[in-house]
Copies of this chain bind each other. A is one copy, B any other.
Amino acid sequence: MKLLDGAIAAVDHGGSLGRASALFPHAPRPFVDLSTGINPHSYPLFELPATTLSRLPEAARLGELRAVAATAYGAPSPAQVAAAPGTQILLPRVASLVRPGMALVLGPTYAEHSRAAAIAGHVATEVDDVEALAEADLAVVVNPNNPDGRVVERERLLRLAAQLRAKGGLLVVDEAFMDVGPDAESLAGDVGQGGIVVLRSFGKFFGLAGLRLGFALADTLTVQRLETQFGPWAVAGPALEYGIRALGDITWQAAMRQRLAQDAARLDGLFARFGTAVAGGTTLFRHLSLPGAADLFSALGQRGVLLRHFADRPHVLRAGLPGEEADWQRLEAALADWASLRNDQAEEPNP
Contact = CB atoms under 8 A, between A and B. Distances in A.
Given A1-B99, A17-B58, A85-B89, A53 B210 contact: yes
Nearest to A61: B18
A130 interface: no
Classify the secondary structure of A's interface with B.
Answer: loop
Interface string A234-246: 1111110010000
Nearest to A220: B6
Interface in A254-299: none
Identical chains in the assembly: 2
Interface in A207-261: 207-212, 221-222, 224-225, 228-239, 242
Interface stretch (A90-98, A139-147, A155-163, A305-313): A90-98
Nearest to A100: B2
A302 interface: no
Contacts of A210: 51-57, 236-238
A249 to B, nearest CB: 16
A99 B4 CA distance: 10
A170 B10 CA distance: 26
Contacts of A228: 4, 6, 8, 10, 119
Given A56-B209, A85-B89, A236 B234 contact: no
A112 B16 contact: no
A89 B231 contact: yes
Nearest to A138: B1
Contact of A211 (B6, B42, B237): B237
A60 interface: yes
Interface in A183-198: 195
